[in-house]
Structure formats: structure tokens, C-alpha cells
Amino acid sequence: MAKKTYVATLSNGSVQEVTSKKAVLALTDIISVTLEGKDVTSEFIKEDTSMEQTTVIEAQAEEIVAEAQEAVAEITEEAPVEIEDIPTLLFTASRGNSKQFNWYRIVTNPTEEKVKVKGCAIPLPKSVAEVISTDKFVSWIPQSMAEASVNEDAPVRGMASTFSDVFARYCKVNEVKGADKVKTVLTIFKNILTAIEAGTTTGGWNRPEPVKEEAPAETPEAEAPAESTDADIISTDLADIEIAG
């Protein structure tokens, strides 16, 4: 059986003819290899080609990253990114009793210092905590979520607990019984948003003072007739009447 002949062209211009793959692999600086006229170069310098392609890709990636970093630096220098303020709604109640239920519109910023407030699971912006002061925390939400609920005519996602908390406190302060929770809170939101549009940033409800019944006026006792004295008695007897002369 005739042996296969590999023809390898080297980088120095020489051509080597060998009869096995092993012999081809032993050669260095191979440019191309043919087997019976067929190009089989990839079988012997495939690894080098892959390495070369990898190097090219890495170089391109580094160039892309460098360009991106330069572009970001230019954008940052020309137009610094500003973190927008967020309008929020805060609900509080008087602590220790059920006499007051208040709401406030407070504009906060995500970069603002956060502090822990009793009754709230998450730290609140310092400006919000200062408004709460010694009152009882009820709920704090973005104004946009109240607006979305009003537009949807239903609690939007994430508002279930707010509806429950606001409804419970509103009913307790105003002594409301048997009201529909969703309708009541949506009405509260609508009234608050209308007030905000008119320029009001705070409001609330106070428990009505019980009406005191006035005690009936006392009827003065009838005065007993004064006892008559002898001087007060006028005699009607003829013998007692003096006749003027």
C-alpha cells in the first residue's frame, strides 16, 4: 500500500515532503500543508490560528471597553446625572389615642439620609422622620402609587397593606362602621390629590367631640306669700273706719 505524502511549506521558503502526520508535526514554522494536492493545513496549525483569533478578539474587546469608558467619562463631564426628587405621601396618627389622622405631601431624594422610625420596617428619609416626630407611623408611599390606584379604580400592586392601614385608622378616628374599604380609601386619595393640585401639602381628620346635652333649667319654686301683720290688715268693719269730720 502506497504511503501518503505530506508536502509542507515552511516560513523560510523551503518545502518538506514527509510520509506521516507525526513527521509533519515535528516541523516548525509551517505555513501550509497539502496531502495529495488537498490543503490540510488546518490539521496542523489549527491551534496557532485559534490563538491568533483569540488575541485579535481580546484586542478588539479592550478597544471597545476603552472607547466605552471614554464615552462615559465625556458624558459624565458634560452632563452629570441628577437623581430626581420623589413626591411621597405620609400618613400619621396621634399616639396613645384615636383623635387625629393626618396626611402630608413630602418631596424626598434617594440620596437623603435614612433613619429608623418606630412602627416602620424600613428606614425612612430624615425629612419624613422629622414630620412624624412623636406621632404614630401609619403609611408612607410614593404619590405616584396613589395616583395609579385612583386611575385604575383599585389598589395597584404593592398597595394592599396601605389600603388596610389607611382605612383602619380613618374609620377609627371618624368612628365609621360598615364602609367599603377600597371605595373609602380611593375617595381619600382623590380628595388628597385634589388638595395637592390646589397647593395644599397637609391635611387630616379629627375625631368629633361628643355633643354634651344641656341640663334642663331649674324651675324656680313659687314664693310663699308673706305672713300678714296687724299693720297690713285693713278692717272692713264699720266700727273700725274713722269718718273724717
105 is in which domain, residue-wise? 86-206
Distance CA 88, CA 84 (A): 13
DSSP state of 99: S
Tell whether 218 is covered by a domain. no
Distance CA 112, CA 106 (A): 13
Q: Are residues 106 and 196 in the same domain?
A: yes
Backbone angles phi, psi at 142, to 5 degrees: -65, 140
DSSP state of 83: P
Query: 3-class SS at 118?
Result: coil
Q: Are residues 70 and 109 in the same domain?
A: no
Q: Are residues 74 and 116 in the same domain?
A: no
To the nearest 10°, the Cα dihedral for 24, 25, 28, 29?
A: 80
Cell numbers for 44, please give them.
496542523
Tell whether 240 is covered by a domain. no
pLDDT tens, 169-193?
999 999 999 999 999 999 999 999 9
pLDDT tens, 98-129?
899 999 999 999 899 999 998 888 899 999 99
pLDDT tens, 48-90?
444 555 454 555 556 656 666 776 666 555 556 677 899 999 9
Q: Are residues 189 and 96 in the same domain?
A: yes
Q: Are residues 13 and 32 in the same domain?
A: yes
> Residue with C-alpha cell 397637609?
202
Say which amino acid occupies 199: G
Distance CA 137, CA 128 (A): 10
